[in-house]
Structure formats: C-alpha cells, structure tokens
Amino acid sequence: MTMVDPIADMLTRIRNAIMASYDKVEVPCSKIKIDIVRILKGEGYIRNYKVLEDNKKARIVIYLKYNDDKSPVIKGLERISTPSCRVYSRCKKIPKALNGLGINIVSTSKGVVTDREARRMGVGGEIICSVW
C-alpha cells in the first residue's frame, strides 16, 4: 500500500520518538525530507542526521536533541500543507510560528527554506510545516 503523505509520516515518527525519549529515529529517504532535516539541524532542533544507503532503500537516521533536564528541544511539530489542502503564501504574508519563537518550513522556487529566509529573499511558496 502506498503512503499518502510521507512528510506527515516523518513528522509523526519524530513526534512519537520524542514522546518515547528515543535518541534516534529512522525514516525513509527523499530529497524534500533531507531538506527538512537539514533545516532542523541548522536551526538547532536536532543533534545530527545521517543518510544511510543500502542496496534496496535509502533512509535517514535523525539524532534527536534533549536539554539538560531531559526535556526535548522540539516542543511541537505540525503539518500545515497537506496533499488534499495545499497552503501557499506570499513572502509578505508568511505567518510566524508561535509569534516568531518557532519556524515555518517553506518550499519555494529557490528551495526549501525557513520562513525568515523566504521573507529575506522575497519569495513565497508552500508552507510545509511548523516547528517550535
């Protein structure tokens, strides 16, 4: 059976691993997932990630990040644009996640970037998800 929304599946796997206090989580690999994980690493929400390629399928190993008191750095992950209901926004109208305390990940014509980078570049696009 095919998966309808692989990005939502990745976010749910990360959310479930955080609730279970796992150190790492594995997800199937795709280009957009690698871009999303790259942004999460750059913004400091995860420790690291690694792309593993077998002879069959590639997968991403995401190493989750926790504070000193064992609380997760990622407090929330929310899928905004779904395959059945796409959400697009112009650069001036891109919403701020948690009044600027979180980030929105946006797929633009210049690649997958954060909401701040999209505003700086002056491009809009599809709002993939929010992280805080």
pLDDT, tens only, 63-117: 999 999 999 999 999 999 999 999 999 999 999 999 999 999 999 999 999 999 9
Whole-prediction pTM:
0.94
Identify residue 8 by its one-letter amino acid code.
A
Q: Residue 94 is encoded by which pair of tokens?
A: 């891109």
Assigned architecture for domain 6-131: 2-Layer Sandwich (3.30)
Domain map of the chain by residue range?
A: 6-131
35 CB-contact burial (10 Å; exposed 0-12 / middle 13-18 / buried 19+): middle
pLDDT of 1 above 80: no
DSSP label at 53? E
Tokens 């690694």, residue located: 50
